[in-house]
Amino acid sequence: MDLTFLKPLYAGSGPFASLYLDLTRTTEDAAKAAELRWRARRGELAAQGAPEADLHALEAVVMEDLRDRRSEGLVAFATDGKVAYLRRMDRPPRAEQARCAPLPHVLPLLAELGERFPYLVVAVDRRGGKITCFAPADGPDAAADPPPQVVEVAGDEEYPIHKPKGGDWNQSRYQRAVEEAWKANARKVGRKVEALARRCGAELVILAGDPHARSAVLEELGENLLAHTVETDRGPDGAGMKAEVARILELKRAERIMRVAERFERELAAGRRAVTGLPATAEAAFGGRVESLLLDEDPNAPTRLWVGPRPHEIAASPDRLRELGVEEPAEERADAALIRAVAATDGDLTILPAITPQAELGVGAVLRY
């Protein structure tokens, strides 16, 4: 998981007020209920010492959302009197949370977003096709994902499209012409798929529609993109196709997670570029050596680290930081401290689900060197 989008968030001086708020509206008085939930979370933040300016900044975005009915869930981090990051969601967060601490509590957000990557969904028929590009936006100003880009590709060959009925003395010639028209139209779709995949960095292509046309599309794809293309016999529209896309995406996410986990196991077994356990991982993060951080998704993890004002200032004990010149080390959640340090050095994160063998790990890392 790329953490680059979090970098601007950490430019704030702290403390950070972290808010995960349910804004669902399923009943007539839902807006009032959502406002009451915000009041409760606001009270929790105030009790934890959140600055009044941060509370005002959070209240402004919550009230705007309630007024405009813009989302079903909201995640926001405020510091220095402003909202430093805002994410509107089409569903409520898994759990409401309100936390004021030296660092933002980002792990629940990252778990909600999951492994994200650009991908294409392609529906092809005898006349052309439709390509839909899904590219997640994770920039500091990305309050929500942008709408997908839809590209309609009209084939150049319009006649003949349908094969003639049997008995025509020119049947074979017409059949060949029909098949060539199909292929020509599908090849045009394939060339457009290749171009769009390069432009948006697509890591997956889901290809649906006419089987003959799909084969022609595949002929136009380069080897690299072909290796990341999945065909489906589902109809290109409707609930069945949506469910199929969701299934394929979940498999792709699991594949990405397992690839990192397997590499971690190999490196650890060989005694090379991997560490496990909190002290060793913190030391590697301090040195900027973490390429991939592996964490369990545990919202109640009791483990803590000590941090200074700069991202790389992270250690298992306050004395270690004092030795490095940090005058007032602060105790913080281990996941929050590690994620900040790794994001600052362009590392990435893999959140391990409970079903993986490494789920008992707690914390570990694949190292750059």
pLDDT at 186: 84
> Total structural domains in the chain?
3
Supply the pLDDT for residue 46.
98
Say if 340 falls within a structural domain: yes
The mean per-residue pLDDT over the stretch 298-305 comes to 78
Among 198, 192, 236, which residue's Cα sits nearest to residue 216? 192
Residue 353 falls inside a structural domain: yes
pLDDT at 81 over 60: yes
Alpha-carbon distances, residue 34 vs 25, 74, 95, 144 (angstroms): 8, 11, 14, 20
pLDDT-wise least confident of 105-119, 122-136, 231-245:
231-245
Q: Which pairs with CB-CB distance under 8 Å and at least 24 residues apart come from 172-175?
A: none
Residue 28 lies in a domain: yes
Question: Which of 70, 86, 113 is the last residue before a domain boundary?
Answer: 113
Strands of 304-307's sheet in order across = 314-315, 304-307, 330-333
**What is the per-residue pLDDT for 169?**
47
Q: What is the pLDDT of residues 153-180, one digit of tens each?
A: 987 655 555 555 555 546 666 567 667 7
pLDDT above 90 (res 274): yes
On whether both 196 and 91 belong to a single domain, the answer is no
Identify whether residues 140 and 104 lie together within a single domain: no
**CA dihedral angle for residue 271, residue 274, residue 280, residue 281, rounded to 10 degrees:** 180
More confident residue, 30 or 309: 309
Q: Is residue 73 one of the residues assigned to a domain?
A: yes
- Residue 166 vs residue 60, higher pLDDT: 60
Q: Residue 162 is part of which domain span?
A: 119-237
202 and 283 share one domain: no
Q: Which residue has the tokens 């590219």?
A: 135
Point out the domain boundary residue: 98, 113, 128: 113
Q: What is the pLDDT of residue 71?
A: 85
- Of the listed ranges 37-51, 90-104, 168-182, 320-334, the one predicted with least confidence: 168-182
Measured distance CA(103)–CA(41) in Å, rounded: 18
Residues 233 and 126 in one domain: yes
Asked if residue 245 belongs to a domain, the reply is no
- The residue out of 237, 270, 300 marking a domain boundary is 237
Q: What is the mean pLDDT of the chain?
A: 88
Does residue 10 sit in the same domain as residue 76?
Answer: yes
Digit-coded pLDDT (tens) for 332-365: 999 999 999 999 999 999 998 765 555 445 799 9
Rg of the chain taking only CA atoms, in angstroms: 25
119-125 and 128-134 strand pairing: antiparallel
